[in-house]
Amino acid sequence: MQGEINGNVTTVGQVVYLRDTGLVRGTISGMATKMHIIGPIEHSLEGRYHNLLIASDIGGDVRVSVSNRFSRALIILATARLGGELDYRADREADIQPGAKIAGRQQWTLLHSYGGQELLYQWQEPTWWLVRFSFLLSLWLFGLLMLKISRRFVWSIIERMRLQSKASIWQGLILVVLGFLVLIALTLSLVGLPLAITGLGLYIFLLGSGAIWSSLYLGTLVKGWVLRQANISDATILFIGAVIYTILLSWPYVGFYVAFISLIFSCGAWWLAFKLQMKR
C-alpha cells in the first residue's frame, strides 16, 4: 500500500506492506501472514498476523493477535510512535526496541498451546468468519462439480481411503516427496522450467482436490458412525465433511498438519484408484 488512503482498510493476504510513501487516514484491520507498517496510520491497527513489524506512527490503539511460536512475532522499531494502547496476544513478548514511544498502557496476553485462547479471539473477527465461509463454500461447490464430472472415479478414491488407508498414506508420502524433488530438479534446469510450472499447477490441483476427497471421506465416516440408516445424498455427505475439514484446517498450529496429511492421504488413494482403474 502506498499513497494516501482516506478511510479504513481491511487486509486479507500473505504479505502486506504499508510503505513509507503510504498514509492511511483510518484504521487497518484484518489478517495476514506478514504485515509491515512502515508508513503512518492515523487511527488504529487491529487484526491477526503471524509476523507484525511496526516502524512508524499509529495515532490510536494497537490491538492484535500474533501467532508465531518460533520467533518474536511482534517487533516495534525505535522509529515507532503509538498514540494509544498496545494490547496484543502472542506466544512471546514483543520486541520493543529502545526509543519506541507508546503513550498508553501495554498489555500482553499469552496464547495457550494449540490455540485455545487464540481461536476464541479469532471468532470475534468478522474477517475470520468471511474467509472460512468462502473456503467452505468453494470446497463444497468444486466438490459437487468433481462429482458431476466423474462420480464413479471420485468414489473409487474414497473407497481406497477407507479400505487401504495405510497404503494410501505411505504411497502418498512417496509420491509427494518424489514429486517435490522432481519439481526442484526441473526448476533448476532452464529446459525444464515450463514442465516445472506445469508440475506446480498439478501440485496446487492435487492440494485442492485432496481437500475435496478428504471432505468426502470425513462425511462418509460421519454417515457410517452416526447416520448409518439414513439415505443421504452425495451433496450432504460432502457438506458435512467440508464443515469438519474447515474446522480442523482453521485450528491454530494444527491446520498445517491437517492440510499435509490430507495431501499425502488423498494422493496415495488417488494413485491406488488410478492403478485399479487401469487394471480394469
Predicted confidence at residue 38, as pLDDT, reads 92
Predicted confidence at residue 116, as pLDDT, reads 46
Predicted confidence at residue 127, as pLDDT, reads 64
pTM of the model: 0.57
| pLDDT band per the 50, 70, 90 thresholds, residue 186 | low
| pLDDT band per the 50, 70, 90 thresholds, residue 79 | very high
| pLDDT band per the 50, 70, 90 thresholds, residue 27 | very high
Predicted confidence at residue 114, as pLDDT, reads 42
Q: Give the residue from 90, 56, 91, 92 showing the smallest Cα distance to 76.
A: 56
Question: Is the distance from CB of 91 to CB of 108 less than 8 angstroms?
Answer: no
Distance from C-alpha of 52 to C-alpha of 38, rounded to nearest angstrom: 11
Predicted confidence at residue 69, as pLDDT, reads 57
Q: Which residue would you say has higher pLDDT here, 16 or 253?
A: 16
Predicted confidence at residue 113, as pLDDT, reads 43
| pLDDT band per the 50, 70, 90 thresholds, residue 117 | very low
**Strands, DSSP E only, in 44-159?**
45-54, 57-58, 62-66, 74-76, 81-82, 86-90, 95-96, 101-102, 106-110
- With a CB cutoff of 8 Å and minimum separation 6, the contacts of 222 are 237, 240, 241, 244
Q: CA torsion, points 162, 165, 167, 173, in degrees to nearest 10?
A: 120
Residue range 83-107: mean pLDDT, rounded: 90
Q: Give the residue from 264, 35, 246, 2 showing the smallest Cα distance to 140.
A: 246
Across all residues in the chain, what is the average pLDDT? Answer: 82
* Degrees to nearest 5, angle at CA 36 with 33 and 41: 120
pLDDT digits (tens, 9 = 90+) for 135-179: 889 889 998 998 888 888 888 988 888 888 888 889 888 888 887
Question: Is residue 214 classed as helix, strand or coil in its secondary structure?
Answer: helix
| pLDDT band per the 50, 70, 90 thresholds, residue 42 | very high
| pLDDT band per the 50, 70, 90 thresholds, residue 226 | confident
Reply yes or no on whether the pLDDT at 188 is more than 70.
no
Question: Is residue 176 classed as helix, strand or coil in its secondary structure?
Answer: helix
Q: Which residue would you say has higher pLDDT here, 29 or 202?
A: 29
Count, in order, helices (H) and strands (E) of the chain. Answer: 6, 13
Bridge partners, 200 (sequence order): none
